[in-house]
Structure 1
Amino acid sequence: MSSSSDQLAAALSAAASKPSQSRAQAYQDILVSLLEQPRSSLSAEALVQACSDYLDATVFSELNSSGGGLVVGRNTLTAFDEAIKKAGHGEAEAMQGDDDDEDPSKPAIRDEEVQKEILEAALAKVQPRVLSFEEQSTSLRLHLADIHESLQDWSSAASVLQGIPLDSGHRAVSELQKLRIYVRIVRLLLEADDAIGADVYLKRASMVVHLVPGARSGSITGPSTSSTTASASPEDVKQGKLLGLQYKLCQARIYDSQRRFADAAVRFHELSYIAEIDEQERTMMLSAAVTASILAPAGPHRSRILSTLVRDERVAALPQSTILSKVFLDQIIRPDEIAAFEELLQPHQKAMLSRAGNEREVMRLEEEAAAAASAEPAAQGSTAAKKVKNAPTTVLDRAMMEHNILASSRIYLNITLAGLGSLLNLTTTGAETIVRRMIVQGRIKAEIDQVDGLLTFLESSQMEPTAGGLGLGTGAESGGGDAAAADDDDATPVGEGDGLIRRWDARIARTAGALEEVCSRIASQSQA
């Protein structure tokens, strides 16, 4: 090692005495010979140290880091990055059919870990002088990010790219280059499950995406008439359109990670129509759109999205098509259907929900009440009832419970809170809490009578036809039963004022008729 270091120092000293016109080439020849040495004569640790000494003696020496010699230093650092990159490409070719990384006959530079260490050391040396080597520092960071990405170290790759100065006044950075780096950082952070950090850089990308020619169009090859696009080269326009699609995909994924499922469904569905995207990927985006629409908060906005998706002929081939149809038609989703749909979800779509302080206290009281209520049946030897939840525990639970509440408004005129809780497998307090939230958010129109424990659905929610064009039936006010078997006259959509009166009169007439029938039976039995 000592002799190798002495030889390297002597060669670099001799190169430093040459004129500036030939000095950079002399440095490059020394570096190439250094990188080509086999592992048997120059180990990985020795190579990393030798490259560090090389940079100290060339790029960051007093001769090449200031004044007229700065040009030589910049050229040498650029050549250094290119030489490391070429060695990495050589590794890919040499490694075909050979997986022995420790072969002593191979140069140590062919190991990606060694390349990573060399580049990290180079960046540490450049950082104090980054203003003088800004362009070279950017090239080194892009190269190091490529290595981190190939090693699937997404967070480190994003962190390296975040250090690139894009708003520096010392060099001009095109909007296309800014968008390319921002979008790449967003993609890496999403791979690392850092949706918050990805959202920060997506906002930065949103400030430049409209300045990049072609980035706002929906097709890579489609025509564009904007003035900025007309003045740009065809290759820049093509790159801008590709980055625009990546930007939209990142936006959809962030919306999905942030549980903004309605917005995510719209973005995914738009991307599923882009012809330049691979057919398999478009199918995956359509599937993601369907899943997000089902998980979206129940209400008018989701109904519009569901209507658009149901009309898409491609949806019929997806595994979510059955539950999509039931959600679209405002039908109650059963537990077995929810369990089948849950198997198709991503982990973040099944995440546990956090609880506020007051909700936790309510849950504690409800658990105590439930435990007391279950003590008596247990003492009598009856079978244990299924566990009743105090509140939705996951994102999927909340979405399905809210949907079933909306579906109930299509069936019932009113229902007890206890009955609604039985339908949703919730306690009475839990059912009231989730309904109250939907009312406050304007996603359902209803009134809660806390004295009688009764939920009454108002006209606008019970009189409108469903998304599938079906009339709204009338249900019973008893808890949790199947009230879909209403008479035909009750299932007919009626007007605002007189319709309610006619329906109410019909209910009174049926009740009176049933009462008269019961009285006549009692009279006949007493005579017998």
Structure 2
Amino acid sequence: MNPSDVSAAIAALESPSATQASKSPGYNQLLTRVLAESPASHVSVNLIAFLNSLLGDTVGLVASRPVLASFVTQFKSIPDSAARKAIGEHALSLLASQVVSFEEQDSKIRECLADVYEAENDNCAAAKVLQGIQLESSQRMIPDDAKVRIWIRITRNLLEDDNTTEAEIYLNRAKNLIYKCEDLELKLHFQLSQARIFDARRRFLEACHGYHMLSFSPVIAEEERLQSLSSAITCAVLAPAGPQRSRALARLYKDDRSHQLEADFSILEKMYLDRLLSPAEVDKFAERLSPHQLAKTADGSTVLAKAVVEHNLLGASRLYNNIGIEELGILLGLPSEKAEEYAARMIEQGRLVGRIDQIDKLIFFDGGEGTGEKTSSGQADRVVGREVRKWDSNVQGLAEEVEKVTTLLQNQFPEFVTANLSH
């Protein structure tokens, strides 16, 4: 149909002689003809004219509602995405002032329009159009699954647009109802969105746990499970050094699948075994990080640089009983003042057991990693009598070895032992 034919048909339907009872079937027939007979170049123009008439003042609500429902069903099947976008945006502008009467149709048009935006990678527009859906309505009953599905979809689009703050708001709404949902795929998207938000907010230990749990899900493909495992390793590497990160590294290192990720396993192994990381290894690992993981912190360093310094400091505590502050700075590639600051912070936070002698400019390591708990004095507890206990342990070990040798001699040469013991 040409636009002139559509205009003539609309004029006939809007004439005073046309009754309200005849308008509903009349508009349905016109809709069928427009979709079937309009050339591709005229589809959007014809349907926009159709909507202007249907949602105008001449058609009552009783007649227009079922016709609009038919339009929504047909709207999804329009092949040209540009036409769908233009028609959908115009339909929403017409419904804006009367959305209370057409809530269900409005929400379906918004979902279809969001499909178009997502296909164009315009995630911001997709999130905005979905946010306009009325989910807390007195006009219709909306199942919990449907609410959660919309909230999760908004969250995912906001995350793709790097809008973590708003994404977390919608994820928290979904969190209150997700336990009622039976859809495994929906729960999977919720877990992934939660892990991504933790990751974006630099809560790397929680993100690591979320990604690792996802990597065991049988719902997703093997390739995606390995990708989740890789993300878990990345977050574990970026997490602050301490006992909690050590436990996370141990879980990942003991996961048999980690060996398949050669690029990730190399740095995972070194961190798990408390080996020092070289700048070349760190630079190679940094090439695969997301922009938010390379963002600078308040002190001007990146999250990765801070994590590596803390790891190397912890690794140094395994190698040395004590070290000069100047030498520690050289080892970490930092000025001595900065190295001392890192060590003091980790000791104060209970992530490293040691003490600093500022007069002699020495750092004493009392057993490596701390418990992660602060003490009342603000420093990790010093190991009292450490040298005495070490002496006791060595004496005990020597006595046990002598006892073993004596037992072996008695078993092999009983006569010799008896003769010598008698003297």
* TM-score of the aligned structures, taking structure 2 as reference length: 0.82
Q: Which residue in the other structure is 2:166 paired with? A: 197
CA, structure 1 residues 462+30, in 2 after alignment: closer, same or farther (shift >3 Å)? closer
* 1:417 CA drift (Å): 2.1
Alignment of 1:132 with 2:95, yes or no, is: no
Amino acid at match of 1:269: H
- Structure with bigger helix share is 2
User: What is the alpha-carbon distance in structure 1 between the residues aligned to residue 341 and residue 259 of structure 2?
Assistant: 36
Do residues 316 (structure 1) and 206 (structure 2) align? no
Q: Partner amino acid for 1:248?
A: Q
Task: State the secondary structure of the residue aligned to 2:226.
Answer: helix
Contact 1:413/1:462 (CA < 8 Å) preserved in 2? no
Q: Distance in 1 between matches of 2:308 and 2:216?
A: 28
Q: For 2:7 and 2:137, locate their aligned partners in 1 and report how far apart those are by CA, in whole Å.
A: 40
Seen in structure 2, the aligned counterparts of structure 1 residues 55 and 6 have a Cα distance that, compared at 3 Å, is closer
Contact 1:12 1:30 in 2 (8 A): no
Alignment of 1:420-431 (within 5 A): 420-431=328-339
Please give the secondary structure, in 2, of the residue aligned with 1:410.
Answer: helix
* Deviates most, 313-322 or 450-459: 450-459
- Answer yes or no: is the 8 Å Cα contact 2:242–2:369 preserved in 1: no
Q: CA RMSD in A?
A: 2.6
2:60 maps to 1:152: no
The alpha carbon displacement at 1:316 in A equals 0.9
Contact map agreement 2:352 2:370 (CA 8 A) in 1:
no
| Alignment equivalent of 1:432, drawn from 311, 318, 340 | 340
Change (3 A) 1:500 1:85: same
Name the amino acid aligned to 2:140: R
1:143 equivalent among 109, 112, 126: 112
Query: Which residue of structure 1 lines up, in the alignment, with residue 55 of structure 2?
Result: 59
Q: Secondary structure at the match of 1:448?
A: strand
- Distance in 1 separating the partners of 2:24 and 2:386: 87
Shift of 1:289: 1.1
2:359 maps to 1:451: yes
The match for 1:178 is 147
How far the C-alpha of 1:14 sits from its partner, in A, is 5.7
Q: Is the 8 A contact 1:448 1:455 kept in 2?
A: yes
Aligned partner of 1:525 in structure 2 is none
Give the 3 Å change call, closer, same or farther, for CA 28–15 of structure 1 in structure 2.
Answer: farther
Cα pair distance change 1:304/1:273, threshold 3 Å: same
Overall identity of the aligned pairs, in % = 38
The answer to whether the Cα contact below 8 Å between 1:252 and 1:264 also exists between their aligned partners in 2 is yes
- Equivalent residue, structure 1, for 2:31: 31
Q: Indicate the residue corresponding to 1:272 in structure 2.
A: 215
CA contact (8 A) 1:351 1:394 kept: yes
Tell me the matched-pair count.
379
Compute the displacement of 1:303 (Å): 0.8
Q: CA deviation at 1:18?
A: 4.2
Matches of 2:248 and 2:115, distance apart in 1: 39
SS at match of 2:77: helix
Are 1:283 and 2:226 an aligned pair? Answer: yes
Confirm or deny that 1:330 pairs with 2:264. no
Distance in structure 2 (CA, Å) of the matches to 1:339 and 1:58: 62
Structure 1: gaps of 5 or more residues:
65-69, 92-109, 215-239, 356-390, 464-494, 506-528
List per-residue Cα deviations over 1:224-268 (Å, max 9, x = no partner): xxxxxxxxxxxxxxxx22111111011111111111111111111
Residues 384-423 of structure 1: CA distance to partner in whole angstroms, max 9, x if unpaired?
Answer: xxxxxxx6x2111111111011111112222222221111
Q: Deviations over 1:454-495 (max 9, x none)?
A: 2222346499xxxxxxxxxxxxxxxxxxxxxxxxxxxxxxx9
Q: TM-score, normalised by structure 1?
A: 0.67
Q: 1:459 to 1:314 in 2, by over 3 A?
A: closer
Partner SS state of residue 457, structure 1: strand
Q: Which amino acid aligns with 1:27?
A: Y
CA distance in 1, matches of 2:184, 2:56: 40
Secondary structure, counterpart of 2:316 in structure 1: helix
Counterpart secondary structure, 2:172: helix
CA contact (8 A) 2:75 2:84 kept: yes
Matches of 2:241 and 2:254, distance apart in 1: 19
CA contact (8 A) 1:272 1:282 kept: yes
Gaps of 5+ in 2: 372-384, 396-423
Quote the residue 1:441 is aligned against: 349
Q: 2:243 aligns with which of 290, 297, 300?
A: 300
Counterpart Cα distance in 1 of 2:17 and 2:247: 72
Q: Distance in 2 between matches of 1:444 and 1:81?
A: 63
